[in-house]
Structure 1
């Protein structure tokens, strides 16, 4: 009888020891997981703060650069603003203003050429029209597409017979570029998207014609 009680007590003691070890192991595992999650959160927060700081720095540099004249930008003053039907013969290629269709081109990315009379109306509302050679390399087109996708007042479309592979046009101003990666592109967009040159500030670049991608 005494032996059975002793054996029972011994088994209970072993079971208690096993359970205690399991609880200790679970607490240790929980502590490790919590520490790992905490470290990950700190890392993510730190990375986010770093990204925001860097982005703010880039934006500040763009704003500062946009306050000065941009090398290569041509200005074309005294653009007419009449609404007309049919084709218009423009002095610039692509046009930077002038008489235009009564309906504007919806801003966004287009894989096919758009009607210039509609695009000119978009620029009257503050849009920048980016045109590119249809043979532009894919990586450069991707860069332009990213720029257009991040701004509701950029119109991007291919256009044949351009004076340079990439041309950025806003009302009364134009910049011809050899590559999409030219840093002046970002400065031009900062300065002229809904910039001071806009004849009709506050007008939309949606609700017109065209279905961008």
Structure 2
């Protein structure tokens, strides 16, 4: 074999090896790119799910109200919110628990001052929905549940200076509201009693 032939073969081999190396680099880049895309898709999907869950339980819609007065009075009080979220109130607080009849707001507001959350529902709410609501609150401290005429939403949760209108009893923001506002940071008299007042809850 002549030297020219050997040189030609060597050159071709060198060219083939270079092409193989380029092809391998391209494959590596393609695999890495696909992996990055796949990881990005997973992260994006997980982020969307997390954001959706946060949105479902978000308390951004909670209204915060300034309460300028909280004196005791035996007189009826005209509250700017319905249901009320604080203000002047009766000296006797409402015992916490579940009630089947509307309650006197002035007494419940005193319980809110002690850290209670008042869960109100429309009187025409279907009974199976009412039962779900009662199951959520049954056996828990500092919660009052009662029907409320002319309610602006199917269910409304009200604490001292805080209120959230809910789409229904299965609205996931209700448990979140309870966690945040039963004996919450806005409570004027945290730890004060929610029993020994007036009213006889049925459970």
TM-score greater than 0.5 by the shorter chain: yes
Provide, for residues 132-167 of structure 1, a one-character-per-residue CA deviation record: whole Å limited to 9, x for no partner. 000111222111111221312100000100111100
Note if 1:148 corresponds to 2:137. yes
Partner Cα distance (2:189, 2:82) in 1: 22
After TM superposition, give the deviation of residue 77 of structure 1 in Å: 1.5
Structure 1 vs Structure 2 CA RMSD: 1.4
The answer on whether the counterparts of 1:96 and 1:120 sit within 8 Å (CA) in structure 2 is yes
1:79 touches 1:97 (CA, 8 Å); kept in 2?
A: no
**Aligned-pair CA distance for 1:201:** 0.8
Instruction: Figure out how many residues of one structure are paired with residues of the other and give that number.
Output: 147
1:4-44 Cα distance to aligned partner (Å, 9 max, x none): xxxxxxxxxxxxxxxxxxxxxxxxxxxxxxxxxxxxxxxxx
Runs of 4+ in 1 over 2 A off after TM superposition: none
TM-score (norm 1): 0.67
One of 160, 185, 190 as aligned partner of 1:196: 185
1:75 aligned to 51, 61, 64, which one?
Answer: 64
- Do the aligned partners of 2:89 and 2:109 also contact (CA within 8 Å) in 1? yes
2:125 matches 1:103: no
Deviations 1:94-150 (A, max 9, x none): 000000000000000000011000000000000000010001112221111112213
Q: Which runs of 5+ in 1 are unaligned?
A: 1-64
Residue aligning to 1:121: 110
Please name the residue that 1:163 is paired with: 152
Secondary structure of 1:189's aligned partner: helix
1:35-59 superposed Cα distances (whole Å, 9 cap, x missing partner): xxxxxxxxxxxxxxxxxxxxxxxxx
* Structure 2 portions without partners, runs of 5+: 1-53
